Amino acid sequence: MVAGGRNSSGLHNRNVAPRAGLRPHKLDFSYATAAAFLTDKAAEGYNSIAAEDGDLYYDTTDTCWKYHDGTAWRQMGHQSVLLSTNVRVNERTDDDVTFTLSAGSEGAFTASGLEGVGTITIQGAWTEATGITGASSGTAGAGSSSTTLNKPAAASNWVAGALRGKFLVISSGGGSGAVRPIITNTTGAVTVHAITGMDATSVFEIADPGTTFSTITIDRCTPAIKFIACEVTRVLVTDSTEVQFNGLSCDDSNAAGSILVERGGKFTLDDSLLEGAASLIVNQAQQVHTEDTVLDTGTVKYVGCNKVTTEIDAADAASTPILFQRCPEVNCGAASSDNTGSGVQAEGCNYFTPSGTGLTGSGNSAYGLYLAGGGYYEATGATITGDTNDFFLSRSADTWANLATDESFGDLGTSIVIVT
């Protein structure tokens, strides 16, 4: 031991020789705050209430040991970091941790350089939509199916088309726990991507994400980070292992990407809604999954991503809404209609094939499907069309009906086939 009540590490310790003229150190180990520790320290005759280099106590609020380095209190081991108003994690997270947030603003979410192999889940809150003509909640009407929820028998009619931009949340009954953005609605029915088991027993709510972030920024993080039922203006993800959004609503119009993902491992945007002209741009991610997602009038663009799987509904975009460039493997499901441009465009993709409900849609100003660059493009079951022609391949265009009888269509190094 050394004089002055410190051990060889320089930290204050209990039951050590006191400084000259002071009483023995009888401090407890645990305190709820640094202020409580310093008050007790002063009461025991240690100089003053000021913190000193080497002071040490266990913080029961943050559940960690803290020491003073002469400038500030520091957490021993890994520091905890505040990511948003109510989300605090250790810099290294190896365990799974969930934050259940209430409706309201969380401000900006910023995670930079987090380490570990755990999963950080941000569970937001759904709020029942207001200002709706017709039922905002209840039990589905007779004849409801996996893709169509009919209004309750006694409920007033909805306004046709007014529910696009909202979410259908199934709380119990058939399809319990499912969430889908609403694609469209008539006065008596809501249309969504398929929900297994949805029927006349489904108890539903027309909802909006109630937990809001101004921005979400994730940079160089190795733990998986997952958001559920949240609304955000802009998302920036860079060089991170895994980021997932379920039930996200993004309403920012940004040409550089309302949601911008640069490199990294796996990025998921499922059961989500890009409102207005909000856009998604993903550059050089290893794996991208965007299923059961609705574009309002915006666009999605994937560049140099190793594997992309989509199931997207797009309409009324001011350009081609779904674009793939130099992606080795693309599994594309798309319902793309009434866009100023083509419905779907793929350039230089090694392997392109329909997935989910396939390639559907009509009323696109250019082509239904626009293909360019070397690659293998499969169009089994495609019905997507454009005003100029059904599809374009390299320097030629034609209809799906003609292609079905001429599978040799295309230039050297590029092929399009229908697999029967």
3-state SS string for the chain: CECCCECCCCCECCCCCCCCCCCCCCCCCEECCHHHHHHHHHHCCCCCCCCCCCCEEEECCCCEEEEECCCCEEECCCCEEEEECCEEEECECCCCEEEECCCEECCCEEEECCECCCEEEEECCEEECCCCCCCCEEECCCCCCCCEEECCCCCCCCCCCCCECEEEEEEECCCCCCEEECCEECCCEEECCCCCCCCCCCEEEEEEECEEEEEEEEECCCCEEEEEEEEEEEEEEECCCEEEEEEEEECCCCCCCCEEEECCCEEEEECCEECCCCCEEEECCCEEEEEEEEECCCCEEEECCCEEEEEEEEECCCCCCEEEECCCEEEEEEEEECCCCCCEEEECCCEEEEEEEEEECCCECCEEEEEECCEEEECCCCCCCECCEEEEECCEEECHHHHCCCCCCCCCCEEEECCC
pLDDT value of position 390:
93
Domain boundary among 151, 178, 209: 209
Domain boundary among 43, 77, 111: 77
Average pLDDT over residues 253-262: 83
| Same domain for 398 and 277 | yes
| Same domain for 173 and 65 | no
Structure confidence at residue 411 as a pLDDT band (50, 70, 90): very low
Asked whether the whole model's pTM tops 0.75, one would answer: yes
Output b/e per residue, 134-162; b: 16+ Cβ within 10 A. bbbbbbbbeebebbbbbbbeebeebeeeb
Task: Indicate whether 222 belongs to any domain.
Answer: no
Task: Indicate whether 104 belongs to any domain.
Answer: no
Output the six-digit token pair for 258: 């309302």
CA distance 338 to 319: 10
| Same domain for 302 and 382 | yes
Structure confidence at residue 290 as a pLDDT band (50, 70, 90): very high
Which residues make Cβ contacts (< 8 Å) with residue 256, sequence separation at least 6? Answer: 281
| Same domain for 390 and 264 | yes
Task: Indicate whether 395 belongs to any domain.
Answer: yes
Q: Where is pLDDT greater, at 175 or 81?
A: 175
Is the Cα torsion angle 29, 34, 36, 39 positive or negative in sign?
Answer: positive
Task: Indicate whether 345 belongs to any domain.
Answer: yes
Residues 128/182, Cβ–Cβ less than 8 Å: no
Amino acid at 40: D
Is the per-residue pLDDT at 2 higher than 60?
no
| Same domain for 265 and 173 | no
State how far the alpha carbon of 41 is from the alpha carbons of 7, 35, 191, in Å.
Answer: 17, 10, 66
pLDDT value of position 375:
78
| Same domain for 29 and 135 | no
Domain boundary among 10, 42, 77: 77
CA distance 314 to 262: 23
What is the percent of the chain with per-residue pLDDT over 70, rounded to a whole number?
86
What are the φ and ψ backbone dihedral angles of 37, each rounded to 5 degrees? Answer: -60, -45
Residue 167 CB neighbours (<10 A): 24
Structurally, the chain folds into a number of domains equal to: 3
| Same domain for 265 and 377 | yes
* Choice among 44-48, 80-84, 387-391 with the minimum mean pLDDT: 44-48
User: Mind listing the pLDDT tens digit for each residue in 184-229?
Assistant: 999 999 999 999 999 999 999 999 999 999 999 999 999 999 999 9
| Same domain for 410 and 291 | yes
Output the six-digit token pair for 277: 């002209």
Task: Indicate whether 102 belongs to any domain.
Answer: no
What is the percent of the chain with per-residue pLDDT over 90, rounded to a whole number?
61
Task: Indicate whether 234 belongs to any domain.
Answer: no
| Same domain for 364 and 282 | yes
| Same domain for 183 and 67 | no
Task: Indicate whether 231 belongs to any domain.
Answer: no
Task: Indicate whether 357 belongs to any domain.
Answer: yes
pLDDT value of position 46:
61
User: Mind listing the pLDDT tens digit for each residue in 370-387?
Assistant: 988 777 888 888 899 999
Structure confidence at residue 328 as a pLDDT band (50, 70, 90): very high
| Same domain for 268 and 375 | yes
Give the residue numbers spanning the domain of 67: 1-77
| Same domain for 197 and 258 | no
